[in-house]
Chains A and B, each alone.
Chain A
Amino acid sequence: MSSEPSPECFTWSEPSKMTKIEHTVEAANARLRQDMLAPLTRFSGPYWIAASLCLVVIAFAGFAWANQLAYGIGAAGIRRPVYWGFYIINFVFWIGISHAGTLISAILRLTDAGWRKPVTRAAEAITVFALMIGGLFPIIHLGRAWLFYWLIPYPNERLLWANFRSPLLWDMTAIFTYVTGSLLYLYLPMIPDLAMMGRRFGGLRGKIYRALAIGWRGSDRQWHALEFAMKLMAAIILAVAVSVHSVVAFDFSMAVAPMWHSTIFAPYFVAGAIFSGIAALVIALASLRKFLRLEAYLKPMHFHNLSKLLLLMSIVWAYFTVSDHLTAWYGGDPLDMRVFNAREHGPFAFWFWLMVVCNFVVPFVLLGIKKLRTIPTIIFSSCTVLLGMWLERFLIVVPTLANPPLAAAAGSYSPSWVELAITAGTFAAMILLYLIFTRLVPIIAIWEYEHETIS
């Protein structure tokens, strides 16, 4: 029995008759496929230069980490009493960015917002890559990183076990679930496109595509199952995403340190994550639009819609920040106030007010005033938001640790070249992963986009 029916087996009885509209739609779809599949085989000079630069930065970061592993984590700038520094800040930052895909794909899928179609795969890719990068940091920041597997409850002969009541264990399970879910969420809508690419490419590349397409035929049964699975996954991934960043927030709020022990941290962090996720998505889309020449697909409408979401999240972020700080200030607990004053008036004042400007003032002005809302200003606001959100993580971690309850133990923190190198390496890794991704699969889900334009 042959594996696939070939057209020759069929006896075709009627010549084709297509109307004018169908011709236009077919032409548009052919154009879409051409535009989407072109980058898969296009390796230009600037591409190689960008990829090489990223590789250099990543190699340097690897060297820095090797240095840290060899000499001890003192190679980083953290010292008593600031026991957590750049690594934890980066960890929270990247997990926050990973909420890009969750918001766009899950929430917009559940509310059936059609404009999300060209944006979903790019967003889901950000999620997966940000999670992979963010998930590295709990290992990088360990004092004895080679023993990280002790956090996993595996049977052993020494009566050792992991402590499930520690928020770090919650982190591990939450991020594991989120990575699995996000990978699946990225992979499932790729299956139809993978099947299409499996037919266009030969050799090893084609074999891998066909294998990954796991027998997709495009039957209505399969489409129905896939769409239902996507709906279910959207709901599940939404629940997981909220819980993941709440668990990351619990790392701080479960501690008794002043200004950390705040009940608002879980929703604060989730809102901040969605906020930074949208900003990262805008920047990613703007880059894709420019470098892959997708102006026909990523229209100003998409950027304007995303900017409205960004503005909304900026206001929500400001609301949470004011709530948290007002309560601390009004209560006047002396331990809290020492941290509060350090942030608002003390050594961290410059970064604090810069964060406020980046996260609230700039987006509010540039995106709130309609005349000022253009694609360049939207991109600029997103950049400032990313900087501001990184600063927010910094201002949560460091001032509290630098001002412990016993004032005699107060200290300070300045990052070393190791931390800076590793931080730069993660940004380079994100860009490199994205560069590779755009050459492997079409960045806009072809079947979703076709579906949208026709109906």
Chain B
Amino acid sequence: MRLSAKLAHVGAAAPAVEALVAAGCERSAIEIYSNEPVELPPGSLDRPSRMSLYAVLGAIINGTAATAFMFWTQQDYPLPTGGMPLISGWATAVVSFEMAMAGAIAGTLIGLLWEAKLVWRTPEGPPQVLDGDAIIIEAPVEEAVRERAAAFLHEAGAVKIAWREERQ
């Protein structure tokens, strides 16, 4: 069964998570939907993120690609530098830096789209959240612990609880 509970306010989110975990829900399967970011204490619903890795990787890849591009193209073409060295590393370092930053931006964007499951892997969610003021916690709950989960949630401050069949 899939449980969907409406919470009164953002402060109720952390106790609600603990309530569901105590009732036997898997922590990583719990989702909270809201119209604003919900502050949860560390350990509550940690979502490990690799976005900084993507950003750094993007920077390194694009930076070296830009430098290599300049290096190879400036050697390949018979450039009329008239005595200036074909490749001046220091003079073109700025271009490498800017392209590295562009790579970091791209890495961050890709990381965001991937981890937030935007664009192509978007999961369903309660749409009324987007209208504002609703904070809804959802989790898959075993049939057996259904009553316990509901009871714990009410204690934690849930305002409404609803159930539906788990979708395949």
Contacts and interface: CB of A to CB of B under 8 A. Distances in A.
A touching B, CB within 8 angstroms:
yes
Interface of A: 1, 3-5, 7, 9-19, 21-22, 25-26, 29-30, 33, 153, 159-161, 164-165, 169-170, 173-174, 176-177, 180-181, 184, 188, 191-192, 195-196, 198-200, 214-229, 232-233, 236, 239-240, 243, 247, 250, 446-448, 450-451, 454-455
Greatest chain A CB density within 10 A among B32, B132, B154 is at: B132
B112 A229 contact: yes
B22 interface: no
Contacts of B73: 153, 161
Given A165-B88, A220-B31, A240-B101, A159 B159 contact: no
25 contacts: A11-B163, A12-B160, A16-B160, A17-B8, A29-B132, A30-B133, A161-B77, A161-B79, A165-B88, A177-B101, A188-B112, A214-B113, A215-B119, A217-B122, A217-B129, A218-B33, A219-B125, A220-B32, A222-B116, A229-B112, A232-B108, A240-B98, A446-B132, A447-B36, A454-B10
Contact of A13 (B34, B109, B160, B167): B160
A22 B162 CA distance: 21
A447 B10 CA distance: 13
Nearest to B3: A10
Nearest to B163: A11
Contacts of A153: 73
Nearest to B46: A224
Given A177-B101, A181-B105, A228-B49, A199 B130 contact: yes
A232 B49 CA distance: 12
Interface residues of B, number: 73
A33 B101 contact: no
A223 B34 contact: yes
A215 B127 CA distance: 11
B155 to A, nearest CB: 12
Greatest chain B CB density within 10 A among A200, A446, A450 is at: A450
Contacts of A200: 131
B37 A223 contact: yes
Given A165-B84, A232-B52, A11 B38 contact: no
Contact of B117 (A160, A180, A221): A221
Given A17-B8, A199-B127, A218-B130, A164 B164 contact: no
- Main SS at interface, chain B: mixed
Contact of A184 (B51, B109, B161): B109
Contacts of A180: 102, 105
A224 B102 CA distance: 23
B111 interface: yes
B122 A225 contact: no
B144 interface: no
A223 B167 contact: no
B101 to A, nearest CB: 5
Contacts of A250: 94
A447 B70 CA distance: 44
Contacts of B122: 214-215, 217
Contacts of A446: 35, 132
A233 B161 contact: no
Nearest to B114: A225
Greatest chain A CB density within 10 A among B6, B115, B130 is at: B130
Interface string B25-55: 0000001111111111000010101011001
Contacts of B125: 4, 217-219
A196 to B, nearest CB: 5
A236 B108 contact: yes
A1 B124 CA distance: 11
Contacts of A15: 160
A36 to B, nearest CB: 11
A22 B38 CA distance: 15
Interface in B126-141: 126-133
Contacts of A5: 4, 124, 126-127, 164
